[in-house]
Structure 1
Amino acid sequence: MKLYDISQELFHGRVYPGDPAPEYERILKITEGAPCNLTKFNMGAHNATHLDAPYHFYENGITVEQIDLVRCVGPCTVISLSDYTLEELQKVLKVCNKRLLIKGKDTVTLEHAKLFNNYGILLVGVEGQSVGPEDAPIPVHLELLGKEVVLLEGLVLDEIVPGNYFLSAAPIKLGKCDGAPCRAILLDFDETATCNS
């Protein structure tokens, strides 16, 4: 078994334009005579590697602590969208795992999002800080979050070969929040596994 950390380091990770950047302050220091080191921090709910909850775009949508963790933990498939036409992608979606990670800079379009919903995808993960086109991400978010698809954003998949893995990407349990950071990891139980198409 091999384990891959597919998360960004929070304080040096990417920040979506307009979001607050995370920062920390050491409020107790052993070097200054304190009995321990203690840190406080401020951040946005969508910094670095994080999940979007439906409440991010739906006023009556579920919040982070209400997400069914089955959507965030379990078998997943890593693919590159650019490897497939829409017709070929449908064949992949028939046989792949219901948690789908998109490798590379491929853009999830509204057509992709509708296909994901048609095939019951539970989670969509991307390397970018937002699912969908950078200049118009809202329609893709609305399509997926409207079906309570978990959006896992800000992944690091450089070293990941497309194929089947086990994903653990549970969010921090932030009550009433629209998003939350997570430590996303992949487990490869069979390093020869590939996505069936």
Structure 2
Amino acid sequence: MKIWDISLTISPNLPTWPGDPKAVIERVSAISDGANANVSRMDMGVHTGTHVDAPLHFIDGSSAVEAMNLEVLIGPARVVQVADDVNVIDREVLEKLELPAGTTRVLFKTRNSKYWASQVRDFQTDFVGIDESGSKYLVEKGVRLVGVDYLSVAPYKQSRPTHQVLLGANMVIVEGVDLSAVQPGEYQLICLPLKIEGSDGAPARAVLIQE
């Protein structure tokens, strides 16, 4: 059995969405200073690094992250390679990819993964995302979880239409996965977000497993 950790390492150097708080990790008690144990605190947004979006993120009054269905977050998943010359994943792109019938969890590996491989620290606005037409296509195909290899499932400054379509269909969105070392194919996905009451999202540890 081989395991790929597709989670980003949370640190102050990790890129965050413009306007979101940077991660701050502080050692508040240290053995070296005479404390009984090392103890740290962390301050960051819930959409930092590898994370999930709850419906509440874009649909006011809808369900929060603690109500997410774990059965959707664990199970067979397909990693799909998107060509480097694709700037937006729309319906036409998805039709050409020919997702097999019955695909319920799909992770898109795009040129975004190169940012993680090269440890680019600045936020990139030209990342590849899924537009509204692509989102509607995924809903029509019966996909229940979609993952992308940058910090938003939607193209930059086009967040609302994509999120509202996907979250409105109760689809799980996993953002900020690192697929740079993962080849296209079939895997088992385990993605467990923190259980934060009333939150619109939560950081997650995500792994892919292949027998």
Partner of 2:66: 65
1:61: Cα distance to partner? 1.4
Q: CA RMSD in A?
A: 1.5
Partner of 2:107: 101
Specify which of 80, 92, 96 is matched with residue 88 of structure 1.
96
1:93: Cα distance to partner? 4.4
Q: State the TM-score, normalizing by the size of structure 1.
A: 0.90
SS in 2 for 1:117: helix
Structure 2 gaps, min length 5: 87-91, 113-127
> Is the counterpart of residue 2 in structure 1 residue 9 in structure 2?
no
SS in 1 for 2:101: helix
CA distance in 1: counterparts of 2:205 and 2:31, whole angstroms: 28
Partner of 2:31: 30
Partner of 2:161: 139
SS in 1 for 2:205: coil
Q: For 1:26-71, what per-residue CA distance to the aligned partner results, in whole angstroms no more than 9, with x for missing partners? A: 1110001111000111110001110000000111211000001111
Partner of 1:195: none
Percent identity reads: 36
Partner of 1:49: 50
Partner of 1:164: 186
> Is the counterpart of residue 173 in structure 1 residue 173 in structure 2?
no
1:135: Cα distance to partner? 2.3
Equivalent residues, number: 187
Are the aligned partners of 2:46 and 2:201 in contact in 1 as well (CA < 8 Å)? Answer: yes
Are the aligned partners of 2:55 and 2:170 in contact in 1 as well (CA < 8 Å)? Answer: yes
Matching residue's letter, 2:5: D
Structure 1 gaps, min length 5: 190-197
Partner of 2:119: none
Q: For 1:95-117, what per-residue CA distance to the aligned partner results, in whole angstroms no more than 9, with x for missing partners? A: 4x311100013421211111110
Are the aligned partners of 2:129 and 2:152 in contact in 1 as well (CA < 8 Å)? Answer: no
Q: Which runs of 4+ in 1 moved over 2 A?
A: 80-89
SS in 2 for 1:142: helix
SS in 1 for 2:99: helix
Partner of 1:194: none
Q: For 1:107-146, what per-residue CA distance to the aligned partner results, in whole angstroms no more than 9, with x for missing partners? A: 2121111111011111110011001111212100000000
Q: State the TM-score, normalizing by the size of structure 2.
A: 0.84
Matching residue's letter, 2:198: K
> Which structure has the highest strand share of the two?
2
